[in-house]
Structure formats: C-alpha cells, structure tokens
C-alpha cells in the first residue's frame, strides 16, 4: 500500500503506466482504491 499527499486545492488525479518497452503492449487492468484520511472544504 502506498500513501500520497496532494496539494491544497487539487481537484484531479491522473494515473498512467509506462514501462521501458512502450505503452502499446501493456495488457490487463489496474485497480485503484482511494479514501480520504481527512478532508476540508473551503467555500469562497
């Protein structure tokens, strides 16, 4: 399991895979599960 910290105000997360041999021959799926450890909403 890995953890990541996102900058304040971030609204998007882009995920991609790449290997040294190219992206066109990557078969299969990737599954990502995410949860917020804590969240705050700023309006204004």
Provide the pLDDT for residue 42: 61
Count of H-run helices and E-run strands, the chain? 0, 0
Quote the pLDDT of residue 17: 72
Q: What is the pLDDT of residue 39?
A: 60
pTM above 0.75? no
Q: Biggest alpha carbon distance in the chain?
A: 47
Question: What per-residue confidence (pLDDT) applies to 43?
Answer: 60
In this predicted model, what pLDDT tens digit does every residue of 1-44 receive, in sequence order? 677 778 888 888 887 777 777 767 777 787 888 777 666 656 65
Using an 8 Å Cβ cutoff, are 30 and 14 in contact? no
């Amino acid at each position: 399991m890995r953890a990541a910290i996102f900058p304040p105000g971030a609204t998007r997360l882009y995920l991609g895979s790449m290997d040294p041999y190219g992206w066109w021959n990557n078969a299969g799926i990737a599954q990502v599960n995410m949860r917020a450890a804590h969240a705050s909403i700023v309006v204004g």
